[in-house]
Structure 1
Amino acid sequence: MAPNLHCYHSSPPFISLHSYPLVLRSHAPYPTSKHCSNSLKFLSIRCSANSNNQLTLRTCRNCKSQFDPSLNHPRACRFHTAHFGGETKRKFESVHLGGTMDTPDSGKVFQYWHCCGSEDPFDPGCTASPHSSYDDD
């Protein structure tokens, strides 16, 4: 049995079609034709060999995003293994000068991911693995 390609209205903005039968499934309130029209700007392809057209999404316990278990692969999930936090650079006491030294960046708070040291709070993650569902126990 040849796999069916299901066309959904979603991102990313690319499409790659091969010689498979194309079946459009619209989540929009308007009808669609059997061909992808120019009004569909963002398409994604989901391949499945079964005739059951119901899509079951699960939530990943690492990255908290929803995923399709049939499309899960070894590097599908990106996450950090530790928390994003910070520390304050301390001022140093000088025995020789008799007081607090004027050290650079003293008193400033530096925030970073404690697992990899990245200072970007929106960094996608330093660890890659398959998605892990809350149902996988």
Structure 2
Amino acid sequence: MHQSLAIALAAFSLAACQPVLQAEAGPVPAVAAAPWVLSGPARAGYDLSEALCSGCHATKAGEISPNPMSPTFPMIANSAGLTQETLAEYLRDSHNYPETMNFEVAQEDSDVLAAYIITLRSDDYTPPIQ
């Protein structure tokens, strides 16, 4: 009896550690808050953003940019008229960046960064109070 109870408790404990599926939890407002949901180019973009961009930009929803002059990735993603293609193009053109950035993004990196950033678009996005 005690062995059955111990097995049942162990199974319950392990099940409680499993991530909740999106269908069970409802819509996930911030994909970046759950990077394990991402795959392919968006996942590669998330990983790259953590390595290259997070020193200045908030790369996930609900974060504040370490550099107050740097927009958060959700702010960028929810810019009017922005598409994944226009964002990737902007990221490739280092002449668009402020002088203080002195940063260059390779084409393959700009494509995956744009794929990730666009996942932060939200129909109910509200810009932060400035």
The one of the two structures with greater contact order (alpha-carbon pairs below 8 A, sep at least 6) is 2
TM-score in same-fold range (> 0.5): no
After TM superposition, the score normalised by the length of structure 2 is 0.18
TM-score (norm: length of structure 1): 0.18
Choose between structure 1 and 2: higher helix proportion: 2
Structure (1/2) with the larger strand percentage? 1
In terms of Rg, which structure is larger? 1
